[in-house]
Amino acid sequence: MKSRSKAYKAFFRGIARIGETFEIKLGPIHARGVPAILVGVTGIVVASGITAMLAKSADRLPETLREARGLTDSIRGHRPPLNP
């Protein structure tokens, strides 16, 4: 029983060390410890959601990209040349 409690204590001590030393720096955003772990997990979940969304709507993707290009051109003020 003592060896099991020592193993648990060592395991949780290792987890605590990982939590203290984990650090993320993204431009002006700095996170350390548990908040950094939460930011990392959130990023993975968001990437998974975006991937699932793209997989479900793959047949509409070319049309969406065409419309997005047209939107950016209109925002920039780019006008295509007119045919004479």
pLDDT tens per residue across span 7-47: 888 888 887 777 777 888 878 888 888 888 888 889 999 99
Total-model pTM: 0.53
Question: What's the pLDDT at 64?
Answer: 80
Question: What's the pLDDT at 84?
Answer: 62
Question: What's the pLDDT at 61?
Answer: 79
Q: Mean pLDDT over residues 66-81, rounded?
A: 79
Phi, psi of 79 (to 5 degrees): -120, 130
User: What are the Cα distances from residue 2, in Å, to 6, 8, 10, 16, 20?
Assistant: 6, 10, 12, 21, 27
Say how far apart CA 40 and CA 58 lie, in whole Å: 27
